[in-house]
Structure 1
């Protein structure tokens, strides 16, 4: 079975077991049927022997009744039971032993004599009709019938003796068949166990080697020998795949080292200054938005994500991808506006990170009118607000809480709400944020952009003061609302 697949080996083994078990069952059924047939034959023969005597007695009884009453039905029953007795004798001839057959022939001859004598009595009865004429013959007929009873008892005794020897033989054969079936069953069971052991060993040994090699690779030890080919097709595929994977990882490590050197040089370079804008609002807006430009961290996260994918750490890879998406998005928003749909996608990435960290302690709900997804707004606006709700509202609560984002249209405006059921804040704190009086502003952990930064950018971009409002009370949660004027055909889809 060189280079055969696991599927082929299993099918071959299972098919062999099924065939052996089927043969065992067929033999067991055949043996049982044979024994059952012999038992039935013995019982039927004993029944027929006894029935012969019964039929003759009934025949004599009906013949006697006929001679007394001259009723035709009695004569018909006499002939019927006489015929039944002869028919049973013919059936028994094919299944009697030699001694019983001699007695059976005597019974047949006696029945013939009984029939002839009965016919003679009947004829005399018809010719004379006198009792004295046919009575001697009638008496002789009944005497012959009594001889038949004696022969039937003798046949019964002989056949019982014969059946005893047959029964002993059947019993011995049954015992032999039982031992043979048990022996075959034990043999098949042993073969199954032997195959299972060999099959398991043939699979687990190379798999254990792969596990050991994988553990070395996970610890950073790539100096391992390539696996040789295996007799099992699937194991051989795993060997080749592992060898290729280790080779690719070695190449990737070299490339990552070279990339790390380049990134180190990039880290030391200063970022280009923003061009001086003609309008103070635009210059101030861009200077506030460009507080973070983490190229090195973004590139490093991408490298870590690639390594996580190679090592099979898919959950880690997804977390890193989420952070990378947030950083990529923050970088791309330095010199252009975003949309509500893009902002919500970034919030989803951020909330995925927090839900992974805190599991059931935090919940996240979205209720957004799909027609508002293309409404324009400054980039990196919603994520800092959601992050602030989490850090200052939800995280301090022992049992956690939930954050909801709603977006709906109201009287020509798009209203975007960030609502949490966290710790809340005082009116004094709200006034500090809205009036830019917070000298100790907390920057966001993720992007470095705080709530006051968001408030200032919104006020610079829009010409109305109530673009952002905050409603809150201590221990009763917080609702931050952003009010964006809709320009039909421009920012509303």
Structure 2
């Protein structure tokens, strides 16, 4: 069994959102471990020096407090009063608070420092008792021989404490020098350690990226390549392999394979229709019978048309989104594409309510806005109750798609596409307007005359199809194209209210 064979199989069975989340989590873990290692090293380095600096500061502060205490005792000897005595007691209290702040953890100080601290505390306690004895002798307000002996003994004890503090400070300085030498050696190799960790992180991230690309991006690229081939009118291509994937990509692949088979069937039906038309004309059959058969075949064919270019662009967008974004956005794109394909492939109604048509259009616009970002904007202004009026199915999307592909997309700054639906007298008017590159007079004339687009050109195919379907499904409808090069295009559709107004339940056919 190949390495990672079991994880790869399990990865293919995961939903697309979980795959992207796994990739993000793996990348985060690698970067987090790298960050923790660097932070721990810096914290240890800073803690070592901070401990020495704190100890030196405490010892220097203690020496200053001892000097204040010596001066207070000398002042008491000169003028033994209550104020000087209170000052000495305050100095002793502050000294005890300071000495108690000395570190107690054996791991943070040497044996000599612990011995010096013990000696200082004991001597300081003796120093305080000696001062109390001095207070007692001084309370008689007679400077006897015992008083002076006690005073000099107190001063001598204070000198011992000063000596201990100086020894402790010197010991801290020696420890600091030793720590500095050790840290200096570490700092010399720290860049090498950091570079090794960085290379290791980059190596792990590279392998995670390659694994992610092989199991997620490769199926999308295969699907995009098949869509490109299908867009070149090469229908005889094998099905895109699903590769055992049970996620959204697998569902999309299966849908694409079904769509490809439908397109192939439609092409065969088109060829058969053309052959039948020639035979009908050769046999000089009734014009009305021939027109009815041709109209029925055209209607069935036009309702099933799918633009492979749009599908290819959408799949390419999904591939890019999977690399740059998290799974939430990709899931929404696939969901909107599924709604759009389901409507285009399986909707067999001749007409639908404006609400149903707008729901499909919103899915299409969501995909295009994700593709073009800020270059394309859509505005929908529906001034009629959308559930009370009907239009031929698959009417708005081809017009908006034509405005995007041939009006706004070629324009570097992009543009805005506006869809307005309103009542004008006895007509339901639909305007699809864009401020794109527009079209010349010749193309505009062909569209208004509903002429076939020359071979090799795609501009206007969907627009002509919509106009022809309007003629077939809605007698009395109007279709007009107005366009100016560099200014934009406006396509107007007008439907009689007698046809567009939705009939109440039970009084006629109405879309469900």
C-alpha spacing 1:99/1:65, structure 2 compared with 1 (3 Å): same
Match of 2:389 in 1: none
C-alpha spacing 1:296/1:194, structure 2 compared with 1 (3 Å): same
* Preserved CA contact (<8 Å) 2:240 2:253: yes
Match of 1:350 in 2: 480
Distance 1:365 1:214 in 2: 32
* Preserved CA contact (<8 Å) 2:480 2:492: no
Match of 1:248 in 2: 262
C-alpha spacing 1:130/1:234, structure 2 compared with 1 (3 Å): closer
Residue 9 in structure 1 maps to residue 19 in structure 2: yes
Match of 1:158 in 2: 171
C-alpha spacing 1:81/1:178, structure 2 compared with 1 (3 Å): farther
Distance 2:229 2:213 in 1: 24
Deviations 1:30-54 (A, max 9, x none): 4444444443332222122122222
Match of 2:113 among 97, 100, 119: 100
SS of 1:225's equivalent in the other structure is coil
* Preserved CA contact (<8 Å) 1:24 1:181: no
Match of 1:69 in 2: 79
Match of 2:487 in 1: 360
Match of 1:227 in 2: 240
In the TM superposition, residue 161 of structure 1 has moved relative to its aligned partner by 0.4
* Preserved CA contact (<8 Å) 1:308 1:317: no
Match of 2:462 in 1: 318
C-alpha spacing 1:77/1:259, structure 2 compared with 1 (3 Å): same
In the TM superposition, residue 28 of structure 1 has moved relative to its aligned partner by 4.3
Match of 1:137 in 2: 150
Provide the alpha-carbon RMSD of the alignment: 4.1
* Preserved CA contact (<8 Å) 1:17 1:188: no
SS of 2:26's equivalent in the other structure is helix
Match of 2:302 in 1: 305
SS of 1:230's equivalent in the other structure is coil
SS of 1:254's equivalent in the other structure is helix
* Preserved CA contact (<8 Å) 2:55 2:102: yes
Distance 2:252 2:209 in 1: 22
In the TM superposition, residue 359 of structure 1 has moved relative to its aligned partner by 6.9
C-alpha spacing 1:136/1:221, structure 2 compared with 1 (3 Å): closer
In the TM superposition, residue 135 of structure 1 has moved relative to its aligned partner by 2.8
TM-score calculated relative to the size of structure 2? 0.54
* Structure 2: runs of 5+ lacking an equivalent: 1-7, 311-397, 403-459, 499-512
Distance 1:362 1:243 in 2: 35
Q: Which has the larger radius of gyration?
A: 1
* Preserved CA contact (<8 Å) 2:266 2:301: no
Residue 58 in structure 1 maps to residue 185 in structure 2: no
C-alpha spacing 1:310/1:81, structure 2 compared with 1 (3 Å): closer
* Preserved CA contact (<8 Å) 1:305 1:317: no
* Preserved CA contact (<8 Å) 1:302 1:324: no
C-alpha spacing 1:130/1:201, structure 2 compared with 1 (3 Å): closer
**Deviation larger for 237-246 or 150-159:** 237-246
Deviations 1:122-167 (A, max 9, x none): 3333346035553343234324423332332222112210222234
Distance 1:256 1:164 in 2: 92
Distance 1:362 1:85 in 2: 90
* Preserved CA contact (<8 Å) 1:103 1:151: yes
* Preserved CA contact (<8 Å) 2:72 2:88: yes
C-alpha spacing 1:75/1:178, structure 2 compared with 1 (3 Å): farther
Whose RCO is larger (CA < 8 A, sep 6+)? 2
Distance 1:55 1:168 in 2: 32
TM-score calculated relative to the size of structure 1? 0.56
Distance 1:167 1:19 in 2: 34
SS of 1:258's equivalent in the other structure is helix
SS of 1:350's equivalent in the other structure is strand
